[in-house]
Structure 1
């Protein structure tokens, strides 16, 4: 009976802990959905798979770090903090119908103990400090996950994960901490899921020298800790502790719960835009905060989605950041039912 009581109160205890933890947590709406990737495939249009991009509207196909400063070049940002012109992007989740056609899974903002965030697609971004941290520098970029990975055992579930969200709305908290035993590497395939929450947690230890690396990962390392706790102690090879960046996405699968719509061959109904499952989930990050605003935000323990005068942070209303959009650079129709996944040639309507 004692264990049952403890199990019942643990989610509430976690919710209270997260609600009291000081961190930035804010909404970023979709800037554009297109096949570009200036981190992995700079200069290429119609890259191997589709991305949803959020943040500063200076985002382009190349984003050369030597000349490209999003903080200076962006005229608007689709994120709620005015000073954040960074770009954040992920793969897109598709539903595969039994007739072979595909459609993008819609998204909603996240709820939870810290309050509801309002998004027009996109994702929620967290910057979680653990003690004294050093903010990223101009030109910094990194990648978490691997877009070609098909082996779930190669993914640390405490860093990249998916949760079956059984609540009918995103405002009712489901489960405990991000990427815990309630989560899986694979994308859940269960009609009980109303939404699928995707979490991507980036490493928190930097080598202190390189703003990027050939694989976009080697200049960074995960600390000894797991989960969304700000990161643990750093290895001597990567001694500089940086804020823990976390993406959280809510994919609304409510309209796809009818198994009669699912592929008859038993294949998974939900896949990412690489036509692969959760093992290939990944996130790209390109720093673009104005001046030293992120460092000041961390030093002054700025909190959640609120203006922070001590760091000079100001916020926009949803109508403002939702209005920050960019025309596709790789122009193709990615809305509605598609005859096939947009891979290779341009997408074809069903």
Structure 2
């Protein structure tokens, strides 16, 4: 069994090494209750998000007038030409006394090497065949924030992995969203970290930069998992780069089961007070000029400078320094008596 695990990891490492893709770190820009896609103009939205990317991120971000690349002065992501915004819900630990604490995030390791994050997440852009980069103003969502039914989630697109190592560089398992990965958030004291993966649709209708549900203008292709997406349906014929988020939630300080709820409730939940079936990711395109298209065309790889596309990797100190004050101010890092949902956060 141990040899099979090692062999699977080695095969995954070989496959990803052979596939040129952008894979880079994004540190936390801000953690706050805003959502310019679903709740534009609203402060203290129904649940908390952690946001990365360009610092022109704001409550409204009107797609007709907001130019991320033109209005941002820095980005918390590795490539200085990428002013896109990427965000997800926040994971909380629920203690047996009913209080909550935000779970911190760390960088990710694996076969392609360690990425340095100050919170935040890792982003992949995976091309497959002729790939058309996103258009200015494009936005989309993967997953549904109100979903309570794991059977309605494709595990090949949104999943969680129990990471039994205490560091991210000891690789656990095989390809993303495969093997023992689950839609539900693992609840096992052996987990020292929980890796969350969100894979976005790769097929576009070629017309609409958004849709009322922020999903209908895109579709998943015939592929499964992090393979570039496969062929597209006739309704959505334009092949996009496959975007994948990876987050490492460090649950080490909460792995003592004596701290866990005894009322049958789950120890780890997202900020909607729901489990893994409600995991979701939001994306607003903001690369400068045609740099992303060139990066796909010129087979730029991982988190390195790519002169052929004109993209430049910042140092961790540079992208870590790009932060933004909360637009919906509240303390989200203390022990809370209630999740920040609707009303202001309440503290223990």
Instruction: Flag structure 2 segments of 5+ consecutive residues without an equivalent.
Output: none
Displacement over 2 Å in runs of 4+: 3-8
* Cα distance between partner residues in 1 of 2:54 and 2:227: 27
Aligned position for 1:74: 72
Q: TM-score under structure 1 normalisation?
A: 0.98
Aligned position for 1:136: 134
CA drift of 1:7 comes to 5.2
Aligned position for 1:341: 339
Post-superposition Cα deviations, 1:229-286, rounded to whole Å, max 9, x if no partner, equal 0001100000000000000000000111111110110210000000000000000000
Say whether the 8 Å CA contact 2:5–2:173 is kept in structure 1. Answer: no
Aligned position for 2:40: 42
CA drift of 1:20 comes to 2.7
- Residues 7 and 28 of structure 1: CA distance in aligned 2, closer, same or farther (over 3 Å): closer
CA drift of 1:19 comes to 2.5
Match of 1:122 among 120, 123, 126: 120
Aligned position for 1:265: 263
Alignment of 1:153-192 (within 5 A): 153-192=151-190
Post-superposition Cα deviations, 1:98-153, rounded to whole Å, max 9, x if no partner, equal 11110000110000111100001000000000011000000000000000000000
Aligned position for 2:92: 94
CA drift of 1:159 comes to 0.2
Aligned position for 2:286: 288
Alignment of 1:48-67 (within 5 A): 48-67=46-65
Aligned position for 1:147: 145
Instruction: Flag structure 1 segments of 5+ consecutive residues without an equivalent.
Output: none
Q: TM-score under structure 2 normalisation?
A: 0.99
Does residue 18 of structure 1 match 2:16?
A: yes
Tell me the SS of whatever aligns to 1:38: coil
Say whether the 8 Å CA contact 2:54–2:75 is kept in structure 1. Answer: yes
- Residues 296 and 6 of structure 1: CA distance in aligned 2, closer, same or farther (over 3 Å): same
Size of the alignment, in residue pairs?
A: 348
* Cα distance between partner residues in 2 of 1:243 and 1:82: 19
Aligned position for 2:307: 309
* Cα distance between partner residues in 2 of 1:298 and 1:243: 8
Match of 1:214 among 206, 212, 215: 212
Tell me the SS of whatever aligns to 2:305: coil
Aligned position for 1:105: 103
